[in-house]
């Protein structure tokens, strides 16, 4: 997993409240393999018309927001089902951070596991950021994880809270497997002792040490 420390990037505003995981990743794509087409499924029914052409009214189709790596959302972003492909698609499209007043709990946990930083700020602060990037398309925002701050033009730096363990995982680029492998030597030592104590489980004659 790519570590996250400091990101300066174009931010795209999404005004809708209660953006759920089905909106981010429609259910009919759930059986699709995670390949180079995965980014196409993200917000598919908002980005594309029924005939397959891009809807120019959707923010991510507008030229000024091309290459955006930050979403400034609204209340309850990522609610709904525990659909990890929604996070996969956001990541594979190129997003590294999301800013909103709140997130679905499982969605936020999935973000951490996939290297996306979900920043919670007060509703008024998020509204100010959305207004800024809406009124001046192409505006860049800086998110600094070590100092836990969000910096944008003309706005005082905003501080955010994050669980210390989640912060460590993001800074170190550790997913669940990576966290486990930090204790690889301890696990190997345990397995060796366990095999000695319970050798009969492994087809060996004799009992344990006791």
Q: Note the pLDDT tens digit of each residue in 61-81.
A: 999 999 999 999 999 999 998
Same domain, residue pair 69 and 157? yes
Confidence of residue 204 (pLDDT cuts 50, 70, 90): low
Looking at the structure, tell me whether residues 132 and 197 fall in a common domain. Answer: no
For 181, the domain range is 175-210
Angle, in degrees to the nearest 10, between helices 105-113 and 84-93: 50
189 and 158 co-located in one domain: no
The tokens describing 47, both together, are: 């980005």
- Predicted pLDDT at 210: 45
pLDDT digits (tens, 9 = 90+) for 22-68: 999 999 999 999 999 999 999 999 999 999 999 999 999 999 999 99
Number of domains in the chain: 2
Same-domain pairing of 168 and 198 = no
Do residues 131 and 78 share a domain?
Answer: yes
DSSP string, 111-180: HHHTT-EEEE--HHHHHHHHHHHHHSTT-EEEEETTTTEEEETTEEEEE----HHHHHHHHHT--HHHHH
């Amino acid at each position: 997993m790519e570590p996250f420390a400091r990101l300066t990037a174009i931010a795209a505003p999404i005004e809708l409240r209660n953006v759920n995981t089905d909106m981010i990743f429609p259910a009919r794509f759930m059986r699709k393999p995670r390949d180079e087409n995965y980014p196409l499924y993200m917000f598919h029914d908002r980005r594309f018309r029924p005939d397959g052409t891009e809807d120019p009214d959707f923010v991510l189709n507008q030229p000024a927001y091309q290459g955006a790596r930050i979403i400034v959302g609204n209340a309850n972003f990522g609610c709904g089902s525990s659909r990890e492909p929604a996070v996969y698609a956001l990541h594979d499209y190129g997003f590294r951070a999301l800013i909103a007043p709140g997130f679905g709990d499982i969605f936020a946990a999935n973000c951490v596991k996939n290297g996306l930083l979900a920043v919670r700020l007060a509703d008024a602060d998020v509204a100010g950021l959305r207004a800024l990037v809406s009124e001046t398309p192409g505006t860049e925002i800086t998110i600094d994880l070590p100092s836990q701050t969000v910096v944008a033009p003309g706005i005082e730096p905003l501080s955010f809270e994050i669980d210390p363990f989640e912060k460590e995982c993001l800074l170190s680029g550790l997913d669940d497997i990576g966290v486990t492998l930090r204790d690889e030597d301890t696990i190997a030592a345990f397995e060796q002792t366990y095999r000695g104590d319970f050798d009969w489980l492994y087809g060996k004659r004799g009992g344990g040490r006791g």
